[in-house]
Amino acid sequence: MPAPSPSILGLSYLSIPVFSAVAGAVLVLFFFSKYFRLRKAEVASIAVAPEPKPTNQKSSKHSVNWHGHKKSHARSHLHVPDKDQNKRHHPLEANTLKGHSDSVTALCFSSDGHSLATACADGVVRVFKLDDVSNKSFKLLRINLPAGAHPAAITFSDGASTVVVAAQVLSGSSLYAYGDVSLKPAGEGHYQVRPSLPEAKWEHHKVHDQRSVITLFGTKASYGTADRSTVIVSCSEGTDIKLWHGKTGKNLGAVNSNQLKNSMATISPNGRFLAAAAFTADVKVWEVIYSKDGSVKEILRAMQLKGHESAVTWLCFTPDSERIITASKDRSIRVWNINVRYHLDEDPKTLKVFPITLCDAKGSVLHYDRISLSPDGRILVATHGSTLQWLCAETGKVLDTAASSHEGEITGLAWSPQMIPLGGTLAFVLATAGTDKKVKLWSPPDAR
């Protein structure tokens, strides 16, 4: 009779390897199944993760981008009107352009009124296409300035095709001219495809040495023998003022206000006169003399406007270039006739004086920071802080007031040079810029 096989705890020696193999396989399957479940969850979570938002990094070179504009892209492109259009604070407020990531420092319309260019402290220039001011979205061009350049002033040149920007950099002020910024409809509301991106046509650096450019205005020179080229006047925070050729960037001349420090300077619509406001009560006016070939020959001192009792804060020309309107800290507005024979020592005359009636909460009369006259010469708009006020240019009567037109200080004013579509009508539209990162569009009040 055979002997019984040896065993441990009732298990034969042959059963132990089999049992070990089975137990090991179970453990391996358990751990691998857990691993694959975790891996599957990880892959699933990666598949549904949202795409990271692109960072808005500035390049050291000029960068220009056109954005197509659809309602579904409003949030990502950030260049649509304010989504809270039903929460307008004033009945004249027609639209709000958002998307600027910092204070809007300046703005201007093209000569046809259908393009609005803005300069922003975020280093980006934006050109909006205003087919209709009441639209819910607009075509937008973004121009990224070189790294470290902070745009302070802006104007159009050559109609709507070129925009000129004054920007502050560490070495001083620079001027950049970008061509081909217009985008014309190709028909049926669609825009033609741009074959290439616009580039800087010309640029100048240290245009006012280390001083900042505080205002930049351009116009088509049409007086006398002028060749109808765009001329641009840049005003520094010092006392120097320079004239530039809009197309070539050539420096056409310079004058010095010799008035401590400039507040602003501008040029008449026909390109004949330059006028500067400074921290004095007087306004100096120069005449631009044109040669027979249409080029600028020289800039001569013409006249001085005397009559205010305190510093003139802002001024503007009338559309016919024959009058100047000034606002002063003496809390008055004056209308001057400059169509005089100054070369025969005939002095400019004060035609009208309007008292400023805008008051603060304590009843103290305030002064106007900025003024701008509508292209038809009927409405004068003025600002103080965030307050916007419309006045009848003929009588000085206050037509309307928006006490808090922006959530910060108003930094720029511009009228559309031509009537543009506003809902079902045509109107001269006012645009305002503010430190609240917004641009607002306003319909005009009844000027009667």
What are the tens digits of pLDDT across the range 385-420? Answer: 999 999 999 999 999 999 999 999 999 999 999 999
Instruction: Pick the closest to residue 372 from 223, 222, 238, 266 (CA basis).
Output: 266
The angle subtended at Cα 428 by Cα 424 and Cα 433, nearest 5°, is 110
Residue 21: the pLDDT is: 62
| Percent of the chain's residues with pLDDT above 70 | 76
CB 127 within 8 A of CB 163: yes
Whether residue 105 has pLDDT greater than 50: yes
Cα radius of gyration rounded to whole Å, the chain: 32
Over residues 304-321, mean pLDDT: 97
pLDDT-wise least confident of 3-7, 171-175, 241-245, 402-406: 3-7
CATH superfamily of 206-367: YVTN repeat-like/Quinoprotein amine dehydrogenase (2.130.10.10)
Mean predicted confidence (pLDDT) in 69-98: 60
**Nearby residues of 50 by Cβ (< 8 Å), 6 or more positions away:** none
* 32: pLDDT strictly greater than 60: no
Hey, what are 210's tokens? 């280390």
Q: Answer whether residue 123 shows pLDDT above 90.
A: yes
**Over 80: is that where the pLDDT of 10 sits?**
no
Could you tell me which residues are beta bridge partners of residue 63? 144
Evaluate if residue 225 carries a pLDDT over 60: yes
Beta bridge partners of 71: none
Least confident residue range of 49-58, 101-110, 317-326, 369-378: 49-58
Higher pLDDT, 287 or 52: 287
Residues in the chain: 448
Which of the four pLDDT bands, split at 50, 70 and 90, describes residue 183? Answer: low
The band of 184, judged by pLDDT with boundaries at 50, 70 and 90, is low
Neighbours of 48 (CB within 10 A): 6
Q: How far is it, in rounded angstroms, from Cα 255 to Cα 313?
A: 19
pTM above 0.85, yes or no: no
